[in-house]
A and B are shown apart, each in its own frame.
Chain A
């Protein structure tokens, strides 16, 4: 499944880059992130509770940042597994300075899901992914903007 979206964050590109790539800040922005532990080489072990409504699963897996080109681009790889299936994604993040203190982030990637998640959830996975990404950027926006203020 294709993931393609554009987001605007009210902060300058360096600050947004920092929020998108720093483990501590990331863990605050990833919806449902319960743990994010760096294991070196841009790889993190993660425990994330994701889902919609009552249909939430706890996924354990890895998050990896690759092709780092600060502050303009990188690739995010996610792999997670729960009792209801697995998900695996690769997404290119592209950061562009739109205005001073405003950054456009473009996402372009692929998400694959498997197991029961795919068997019974096909109609909502795309929407759920979109919603989760939306929440993520809402949080980034909030944090990045708060930082700017302070």
Chain B
């Protein structure tokens, strides 16, 4: 087989992102940059109430406003636009009907009630103020603990309570382990609700051509293929005639891994009006109606022995679903459940995961999706146990890590970790910060009344989302490689990058395999009309699954090229080398055929070997045998001002093992962004709802995301433990930074304040919270 390539030059090289020149010059096209002739504009009227019956909606004044083309309410589209779907399959899951526009009841602030279409966006906005809605307010359900009490208001009468599902686990003998424990540590954690804020808000443009019957939808989405299928179902259109294009997408972090009411309504309006219709989300709309992340209250107990051995874990996890299920809402806390043991061998685990409905926006995947919650729990519990035992947080971790030769390792929660060497990454992090010296310095400073804190988090996470049994909607990915007649290479991939840089890394993979210049390769994505099959980008899966599909398709085409080249050179296929744009017999570079010549021969098709078809193209579908389990160790150093509670983050070291690295620049970029978001959760961010379900943090004036000046310089290092579950040996790194950093920072602040007797602090660790924790501990 002709798999010999020249020396690998690009895989592993820090190639600058090929996407960036167009982005930094403002030359790329987002949904709002696309303008069609006769395009109309849509706005949505949204509920100001968290829970209310709609008594009446008067749209007359809005309809009479000059420029308004149509106003629709929930009743108008009943039976015409299907219920917004949830793809989760969980035993006993209660799935409420989720109309695209509320019909007779609203269940969260921001829920769309009516849509206006006008000839210009200003009129469409003005018309909203003219719609009169009369409500009958209902009692609200906002608090997770209260929502599951028997006397709570019930959001869905037909369900009888607010419990969407429960998922138990009882592995090993937890009761015995607790009975025999030397110590038990217990803690309640609030993993606060976060509001994803990608730099580009959501947006949809839809065009319907009645003659052809085709619907084309441009949407700022991470999952164009899912959106295509679901829109065809929601609107009852033949799937073959629906095309979804994700043009340039300005970030998503999971919030665009969804199918939203606005996508369905805008597509419906385009078919109904036979005019292109556009909706661009306003930032203030995004705060209330783009999915939120996290939002759990977790009650956890851990059993430990005097020597630091963790013998059992017991937890009740309350996960806030919000008012409706979005695409994957109930699945997210299941990832918490699966990853509860983190990087430690704990064989006795008892869990009760409860999904809870409340009158808030739905939660769903947000960078890390379920794993930051798990990591927070286990990393905080391990520190609490160490504190109780008087043990260094470092020692307790080494004590409970599995050994490298134990992988693949089946965990008590049912997952099997693919590969790992936790000692290696942790040692590297400890060496980088000179841990022993740091502790000495901390003691010195304490004697001067200064509070230095050292935070450690050693994590293991689950990503590379596949196989299909574990991923709603399919855990595979598809890639196509086509060599054009001119020898240029087109890569079509089903993943849908929106900042991850696969236009660069995928080209690196192909360039190396073919021994050609990266400039001869174009990576196309995000268009169901060009790459008909795919799943999308989320769960740090694009390279582990889509890249794996790509390398196999690349090799399939290469094999065919080698046959044609061998025919042209009158050589043996197995002796051929692909290098510098040429194909030649090893050792005879002077009598080569060019890559482009072979491509031309394949297309002209008059000099093909027997039984070889014309053309050079292959599509491969790849489904991994397992998830991947990246891991690593993060260490942060903070100093806390006990008078004001201000935290000075002095140093942040991240050692991540994401398997083989295709492009270290991209990997570091992902780690940087990931840590920034974890830092956001640890220190700044938190959606606050009042007791009536009103969102109080509805703008950037009150909801703080970390700004460039608020993040420190990150020191990133790596270890490399390839994954056995895909041919590239990669794991995924999109979320690791977020998963590890929030517990790492909380551990640091708690460590700093341990002299005051502080043992835990809720996130975000605002100066007020930190100061209060000190007051309360004294």
Residues of A within 8 A of B (CB): 83, 85-86, 112-116, 118-120, 122-123
Contacts and interface: CB of A to CB of B under 8 A. Distances in A.
Contacts of A114: 48-49, 109, 692, 694
A123 B702 contact: yes
Contact of A85 (B48, B690, B702): B48
B109 A120 contact: no
B702 A122 contact: yes
B445 interface: no
B701 interface: yes
B288 A83 contact: no
B48 A115 contact: yes
Nearest to B691: A112
B47 to A, nearest CB: 9
Nearest to A113: B694
B694 A118 contact: yes
A123 B48 CA distance: 19
Contact of B698 (A83, A86, A118): A118
A42 to B, nearest CB: 21
Contacts of B701: 120
A11 to B, nearest CB: 37
Given A83-B129, A85-B48, A86-B48, A118 B699 contact: no
A118 B129 contact: no
Nearest to B700: A120
Residue of B49, B109, B129, B287 with most partner-chain A CB within 10 A: B109
B692 A119 contact: no
Contacts of B688: 122
Contacts of A86: 48
Interface residues of B, number: 18
14 contacts: A83-B129, A112-B692, A114-B48, A114-B49, A114-B692, A115-B109, A115-B694, A118-B690, A118-B696, A119-B109, A119-B288, A119-B697, A120-B701, A122-B696
A82 to B, nearest CB: 9
B695 interface: yes
B129 A116 contact: no
A86 B694 CA distance: 11
Contacts of B699: 119-120
Contacts of B427: none
B287 A119 contact: yes
Interface string B645-665: 000000000000000000000
Nearest to A86: B48
Contacts of A118: 690, 694-696, 698
Interface in B106-150: 109, 129
Contact of A119 (B49, B129, B694): B694
Residue among B129, B692, B698, B702 having the largest count of chain A Cβ atoms under 10 Å: B698
A85 B48 CA distance: 7
A116 B287 CA distance: 11
Q: Is the interface of B mostly helix, strand, loop or mixed?
A: loop
B284 interface: yes
Given A114-B48, A114-B49, A115-B48, A120 B702 contact: yes
Interface in B301-328: none
Most interface-central of B49, B288, B688, B690 (chain A CB within 10 A): B690
A52 to B, nearest CB: 16
Given A114-B48, A116-B48, 8 more contacts: A113-B694, A114-B692, A116-B698, A118-B698, A119-B109, A119-B287, A120-B698, A122-B702
Interface in B419-445: none
B296 to A, nearest CB: 24
A119 B284 contact: yes
Interface string B288-302: 100000000000000
A116 B49 CA distance: 11
Interface string B675-700: 00000000000001010101111110
A39 to B, nearest CB: 17
A122 B691 CA distance: 13
Interface string B259-286: 0000000000000000000000000100
B142 to A, nearest CB: 13
A97 B288 CA distance: 49
B694 A116 contact: no
Contacts of A112: 690, 692, 694
Nearest to A82: B129
A123 B702 CA distance: 9
Name the residue among A83, A113, A114, A119 with the largest chain B CB count within 10 angstroms.
A119
B175 to A, nearest CB: 46
A144 B284 CA distance: 45
A120 B129 contact: no
A123 B701 CA distance: 10
A120 B699 CA distance: 6
A116 B697 CA distance: 10
Q: Which of A86, A113, A122 has the most CB of B within 10 A?
A: A122
Nearest to B46: A115
Contacts of B49: 114
Given A83-B129, A85-B48, A116 B692 contact: no
A115 B695 CA distance: 8
Contacts of A116: 48, 284, 698
A19 B696 CA distance: 35
B92 to A, nearest CB: 34
Interface string B461-501: 00000000000000000000000000000000000000000
A114 B694 CA distance: 6
10 nearest A-B residue pairs (beta carbon): A119-B698, A115-B48, A118-B694, A122-B696, A83-B129, A120-B699, A114-B694, A114-B48, A119-B695, A120-B698
B137 to A, nearest CB: 8
A10 B287 CA distance: 48
Contacts of B288: 119
Interface in B697-745: 697-699, 701-702
Contacts of B692: 112, 114
Nearest to A85: B48
B113 to A, nearest CB: 13
A120 B284 contact: yes
B283 to A, nearest CB: 11
A113 B691 CA distance: 11
Nearest to B690: A118
A115 B696 CA distance: 9
Contacts of A113: 694
Contacts of B698: 116, 118-120
A53 B698 CA distance: 21
B469 to A, nearest CB: 41
